[in-house]
Amino acid sequence: MEERVYNFSAGPSQMPLEVLEQIQKELLCLPGAGASVMEISHRSKPFDAVIDGAEEAIRRLMNIPDDYAVLFLQGGATMQFSEVCMNLAHQGETMAFIKSGQFSKKAMDEGARWGNAVCVASSEDEKFTYIPKLDPANVPKDAKLLHFTGNNTVYGTTFWELPKVPEGCGARLVGDWSSAILGIDIDVKAHDLIYAGAQKNIGPAGLTVVILKKDILERDIDPVVPIMLRYKVAADARSMYNTPPCFAIYAAGLVFKWIERQGGVAEMERRNREKASLLYDFIDNSKIYKCPVRPGDRSIMNVVFRLPSEELTAAFVKQAADNGLISLKGHRAAGGCRASLYNGMPLEGVKKLTEVMKEFERHV
């Protein structure tokens, strides 16, 4: 078998080796099913055990209360940019957005297709290198939701303090936690709705997890909303109104149980902080690598850094790849480099990265 590399991609990301080995072992025949998980019916008892087990595990991991529903949906986090608006607001109604990066901008653009999307805070003035402070006075009293992106994958920032819906406003707090879920401790009860694409800390692409207060399911929504974009329809059908992403749900369940065996989300955050501190400390003491993000707003999931020129950046990315460290090129919107340190990335991978960075710097 070809030797595995360390994959620093922002997604699809490196998965825990133990989980991949279990998938390999069970791929031809899921225990108790007599066939692969990719072959069995989503209406069968073996798949009932798969999806129920996945929900039970993520509820334990995130301390999800009974008055919250857990949905396993398709369409990625990008689909949620529209689905959130359609389920929490009627057409034309006001929605508030905090603009802190690439994906929060896209979420607001989709909101503008549905209603009155208002930007209530932004860090675009400094190329999203910090988390903007929310002035409660900027949130319209009639806003139906307040949307923020908890961890900004492209620009390497994180909301370490949650935005708060101001008193007198009935907005629902909605967090896109795609690139930090299960990697840091998230207070579910502080949110009305959380959504997260799978391909970072949850498992393979093709699945989106939505966690929402059950009273949202009883809201009156516009008749024009497509059946597949209605949370209540998904909840009533146990996320199986149509054929769900069966393999992705199965793999996610294995990841959830792996995290439990490691010690839970608290242990994942401890490990991720250790990895991030190692890399940030090296960058901050380097002569050629620079992190543009304000220290207090830095992400422990996505570490962005710059070199003095594009030529040096390209040379470093190539040298890293030659040493088994791939996907370190930054997002096209931000440039530079980016190392994503999700749960599946071991400390050894980050140590090797700093060694290669040090060796590259020595020859510049």
Pairing of strands 68-73, 208-213: antiparallel
Q: What is the pLDDT of residue 3?
A: 87
* 205-241 exposure pattern, b = at least 16 Cβ within 10 A, e = fewer: bbbbbbbbbeebbeeebeeebeeebbbeebbeebbbe
User: CA 206, 336, 295, 147 torsion: positive or negative?
Assistant: negative
Locate 314 and state its tokens. 């390209």
Instruction: Name the phi and psi angles at 331, rounded to 5.
Output: -60, 145
Q: What is the pLDDT of residue 1?
A: 54
Domains and CATH numbers, the chain: 18-261 (3.40.640.10), 265-362 (3.90.1150.10)
Cβ neighbours of residue 338 under 8 Å, at least 6 residues apart?
8, 10, 154, 156, 302, 303, 304, 305, 328, 329, 330, 331
Pairing of strands 208-213, 193-197: antiparallel
CB burial class (10 A; 0-12, 13-18, 19+) of residue 243?
Answer: exposed
CA distance 103 to 178: 10
Each residue's pLDDT, cut to its tens digit, for the chain (364 residues) gives 578 999 999 999 999 999 999 999 999 999 999 999 999 999 999 999 999 999 999 999 999 999 999 999 999 999 999 999 999 999 999 999 999 999 999 999 999 999 999 999 999 999 999 999 999 999 999 999 999 999 999 999 999 999 999 999 999 999 999 999 999 999 999 999 999 999 999 999 999 999 999 999 999 999 999 999 999 999 999 999 999 999 999 999 999 999 999 999 999 999 999 999 999 999 999 999 999 999 999 999 999 999 999 999 999 999 999 999 999 999 988 999 999 999 999 999 999 999 999 999 998 8
Q: What is the pLDDT of residue 339?
A: 98
